[in-house]
Amino acid sequence: MEFNNWKLDKIENIHFEEFFNLIENNRNHIIKTFPVTVSNCVDLKTTEEFITKNLQVEKEKTGFYFYVRDIITNKLIGYIGIKKIDYDISKCELFYFIDKDFEGKGIISKAVSEVIDFCFQELNMNKIFICTSKINFGSQQIALKNGFVQEGTLRQEFKNFEGILEDINYYGLLKSDYER
């Protein structure tokens, strides 16, 4: 999948060192919203273990990972994942971030759109949801631009990097709404 100066790449094409560099370059920027990823990528060894574990998760079809790659520099500039897949009720969660230097260009919104297509077409999901920090307005805008509806606020649903439970906004997109 290729657009303008970027493309989506799959996990089997990712070298752990380039993913570590993406996390390292954005560590302070994403630590509040991606504490698990940040804590699993503290150095090259833990990052390699994290990518290896995610390769297994993808083989088991319990999660899927996409990477936004700048096709001019070949650098990773974003990360999108599918988790909490419930095949019984055909529902999954999306998470994503874009390198701080590429924010505001519409790249992650378009990349999320491609992953939404994958969820509905390839995984045959009926619903996709996104949970965002109440202060992450950029992520909320991406959800809304892609047709998601805020369904509510989940109280003390997310443990941040300091171990504090926070409220999150819950956005949902049904396949029937997406097809319209």
Position 2 scores a pLDDT of 44
- Backbone phi and psi for residue 10, each to the nearest 5 degrees, phi listed first: -95, 160
pLDDT at 160: 85
pLDDT value of residue 3:
52
Residue holding tokens 């606020």? 153
pTM over 0.85: yes
Distance CA 76, CA 67 (A): 7
Q: 32-72: per-residue pLDDT in tens?
A: 889 999 999 999 999 999 999 999 999 999 999 999 999 99
Q: Check residues 32 and 19 and name the one with the higher pLDDT.
A: 19
More confident residue, 161 or 98: 98
Cα of 86 vs its chain's centroid, Å: 17
Structural element, H or E, at residue 91: strand 91-98
User: What is the strand order of the sheet 165-174 is part of?
Assistant: 2-3, 6-10, 64-70, 76-86, 91-98, 127-133, 165-174, 149-159
Pure H helices in 40-179: 44-59, 107-121, 137-145, 175-179
**Per-residue model confidence as pLDDT tens digits over 85-111:** 999 999 999 999 999 999 999 999 999
